[in-house]
Amino acid sequence: MKQEVISRMHQIMNKEQILTNLEDRMTYAYDGTMQTGVPGVVVFPRTTRQVAEALRLANREKIPVYPRGAGTGLSGGSVPEQGGIALVLTDMNRILEVDTGNLLAVVEPGVVTEALQQEVERVGLFYPPDPGSLKSCTIGGNIAENAGGPRALKYGVTRDYVLGLEVVTPTGEILRTGGKTVKNVTGYDLTRLMTGSEGTLGVVTRAVLRLIPRPQDVRTAMAVFATVDGAAEAVAEVSRRGILPTTLELMDDVTIRCVENYLHMGLPVDAGAILLIEVDGFRPAVDEAIITVEKVCRELGATGVEVAAGPAEREELWRARRAVSAAIVQLKPTKISEDATVPRSRVPEMVRRLKAIAQKYDLTMAIFGHAGDGNLHPNILADRRDPEEMARVELAVEELFRAAMELEGTLSGEHGIGSMKAPYLPLEVGETGMRVMRGIKAALDPNNILSPGKMLWG
């Protein structure tokens, strides 16, 4: 990084907000993937003004800027692959407002997702999006990636809770989108264009988030099936009965065995699949719903259904699901976590294809995730130190993307494109889609300084 740029940066923010030592910069070279890229400088703005001035400087000097929150991303979106400036938003972490009258919160991008949830639940409200990393990931990152989570089945994803944004454009202008009303059709929907744009169109410096009343009650059940098809059939039948569960999580045989080896909690290691089903809402409704869920599962051949009697038992049922990521890496050190998504009815076919792909390339694959919305997480377990194996992983990944396409699915349900899936984006959106997206990018970022190399340039 040119010394001149560093000194200009010191005119924008204080000394302690700027890191230049290699050891410090190294710690911002990673996210939740295997991607790496060392930034030339790491800055921690504290105000929208500082973000805007930093971007104006970068735009003038044509220096790449990679915004990031907690760096838990699973598509490489925040990794500074071309060096430049790592723009870390974690110091802008205030919850500015929780408005119980209008069911909304105004937050800065660095607020940790779980912290917001706990804050609003204290006053009887609810912020549904629950990405797996919610204990550490930030709202800014959630918005940039349009994060999902298990509860997305009933409540939708981050996009569905963003009412308005303050965004700094790549040219350093401050843009305000949407606002504090649930309904807003004033001009183009820039709020949703920015949501999920993976830090390529602007830097979110403030967000107005929609909240909902906290559900009165939650009931949870775990059902064991001999086959994935049986589990998938139950998933479909539950919604046919007019029930929309909060979550409908699937674990396949490999996943079950990994978790059992890890926790020794007595999971049925001979089972083909386990469903973790949760319903929430009005007490009378959830009581009726969980009974129906149990009935449906038994009718469709569940070898066992357990309904949690209380919070403690509920926690116990969730323990298995929560342990998955930690458990599967016991098998092999490197986890390649995908999230190709298919229409729900195609889940059994997708699982069949995934297992065939794992076999074809002689790889270990654990399949789990959000069966209710077809958003599975096939995780390939490998060892990055074994180049021959990693080559097979690459072939398998491309094949699973193509399988998702063939089943009318999508490359990514919630992890985003980033750098990991950029080469495959044209597969799904086509040449016209690429042209339109690149046109929008160029209109907002003429010098292509914001997250260059991500999403649109594989």
**By the rule CB under 8 A, 458 interacts with a copy of itself:** no
Which CB, 25 or 415, lies closer to a copy of itself? Answer: 415
Q: Considering the complex, what minimum distance in angstroms separates the CB of residue 259 from a copy of itself?
A: 24
Tell me whether residue 126 is exposed, middle or buried, using C-beta atoms within 10 angstroms of its C-beta: 0 to 12, 13 to 18, 19 or more: middle
The footprint of a copy of itself on residues 83-102 (CB under 8 A) is 99-102
The footprint of a copy of itself on residues 1-30 (CB under 8 A) is none
Neighbours of 215 (CB within 10 A): 18
Which CB, 47 or 100, lies closer to a copy of itself? Answer: 100
For residue 244, give every residue at least 6 positions away whose Cβ sits within 8 Å of its Cβ, in sequence order, or none. Answer: 153, 154
Q: Do 163 and 217 touch, CB atoms closer than 8 A?
A: no
Which CB, 40 or 132, lies closer to a copy of itself? Answer: 132
What is d(CA 252, CA 273) in angstroms, rounded to the nearest whole number? 5
One of 93, 133, 195, 337 touching a copy of itself (CB under 8 A): 195
Distances in Å between the Cα of 335 and the Cα atoms of 77, 332, 369 are 18, 7, 15
Strand-pairing partners, residue 370, are 249, 375
One of 182, 269, 291, 395 touching a copy of itself (CB under 8 A): 182
Give all strands of the β-sheet with 203-210 in edge-to-edge order: 95-99, 104-107, 203-210, 162-168, 174-178
**By the rule CB under 8 A, 218 interacts with a copy of itself:** no
Q: Do 366 and 259 touch, CB atoms closer than 8 A?
A: no
Q: Considering the complex, what minimum distance in angstroms separates the CB of residue 169 from a copy of itself?
A: 7
**By the rule CB under 8 A, 363 interacts with a copy of itself:** no
Element (H, E) at 452: none
Q: H helices of 247-364, where? A: 253-263, 283-299, 311-328, 347-360
Which CB, 2 or 435, lies closer to a copy of itself? Answer: 435
The footprint of a copy of itself on residues 369-408 (CB under 8 A) is 370, 373-375, 408
- Phi/psi at 435 (nearest 5 deg)? -65, -45
**By the rule CB under 8 A, 152 interacts with a copy of itself:** yes
**By the rule CB under 8 A, 51 interacts with a copy of itself:** no
Q: Considering the complex, what minimum distance in angstroms separates the CB of residue 347 from a copy of itself?
A: 10
The footprint of a copy of itself on residues 334-353 (CB under 8 A) is 341-345
**By the rule CB under 8 A, 333 interacts with a copy of itself:** no
Taking residues 248 to 287 in sequence order and writing x for each that binds a copy of itself by CB under 8 A, - otherwise, the string is ---------------------------------xx-xx-x
Q: How many residues bind a copy of itself (CB under 8 A)?
A: 93
The footprint of a copy of itself on residues 121-150 (CB under 8 A) is 124, 145-146, 148
Distances in Å between the Cα of 303 and the Cα atoms of 235, 272, 293, 347, 370 are 15, 10, 14, 21, 21
One of 136, 184, 325, 364 touching a copy of itself (CB under 8 A): 184
Which CB, 181 or 359, lies closer to a copy of itself? Answer: 181
* Identity of residue 319: R
Which CB, 3 or 432, lies closer to a copy of itself? Answer: 432
DSSP state of 454: S
What is d(CA 178, CA 320) in angstroms, rounded to the nearest whole number? 40
Of 108-116, 207-215, 261-269, 329-337, which segment contacts a copy of itself by CB under 8 A?
A: 207-215
**By the rule CB under 8 A, 60 interacts with a copy of itself:** no
One of 59, 72, 133, 177 touching a copy of itself (CB under 8 A): 177
Which CB, 35 or 195, lies closer to a copy of itself? Answer: 195
Distances in Å between the Cα of 97 and the Cα atoms of 89, 106, 205, 209 are 19, 5, 15, 10
Which CB, 337 or 341, lies closer to a copy of itself? Answer: 341
